[in-house]
Structure 1
């Protein structure tokens, strides 16, 4: 029988902590979980109204593992609301309703606004300057609206970089589970109603505020920019048809 985890008394040295080693299968399961979650985050699940399915056998073969850690990882992702196991059908990647997506975008807006504030405080001038390189290929001869796929990729990298440059691990963790849905809706909407052309102007305004080290302005621009997406999704329910 394994010895239980025992916490030390207040006057007991920390070196006396009795801890069990992680079992190899637990570490392995965690690696499969991380790989599968990242793959789901990279999916474009909102590009089609049809459900997105993943196959347990194919996952096992592509990861080079048995089905057991795959099933365990899927169970963890199901608890987090990413997937749902459907008997005799497979594993469906879950989409959110319009109301849920709007609330997620609103939450992202608040978190990214704080991230922008932290970028002003924590990021180097060189790192902030690199944000401009994401958009340097776009001009009158290479308009975002004419190269929507390219601009969509730059758009997503921009928002991910803002979170990363904040230097906050907590913000990174809090936005990770929102990313699969916010990213999907950004990709889906960026080519509609000339949103790409307006988007790049708003991005450059955020960058300019960051370069000026204006925390309040950077925070406000970041908040307004993402809340604009929430308003658009709320007003255009056909996105989910």
Structure 2
């Protein structure tokens, strides 16, 4: 069975969403797959739409659910929830990676786990839900997607600014201030960066389409591992 047909019977069913097979396939089609199959349509336009729908839905939810937060705090939380890191986490949580339509190059280099591809495809899915099911269902879909992130206050606090959280933990526990090792790979037009950072014995790793994104992902990973190790020793 094709990936997009498996997807129709899987990750969207739990949300009560049914997309036409051709619409779902478009949302799952990465440009690398489209190029290798004669230049067929891919999901980048849907990403553009989905990004706007995501931003609006998250903004409204935060505004209504957190009436005591200042504009600045609301903006920080929104930025966290619509970030590539958050979207990739959501995508992994619903098993989106296995359904992606990727070109051979991306397949061989771990494209199904790449943060940027997962995040972009998640936006494309949101965009397609908006077109196919309408604004109300698209908004409900976004709210259900981000709910697990909002339910974990510790993780959410770190996600607002993981690099600052890492620095604060280093100072608190007497560790050296974090130093990031970043390595770039791939062609200039499609560069990917991998970052590593240490917090005591915890080593965080992360990847992204920019050095900053990779460092943020590595910082979040280091904080999570450090906090997990502390819990185990208590």
- Does 1 or 2 have the higher relative contact order (CA < 8 Å, sep 6+)? 1
Q: Larger Rg: 1 or 2? A: 1
Aligning the two structures, in what range does the TM-score lie when normalised by the shorter sequence?
under 0.3
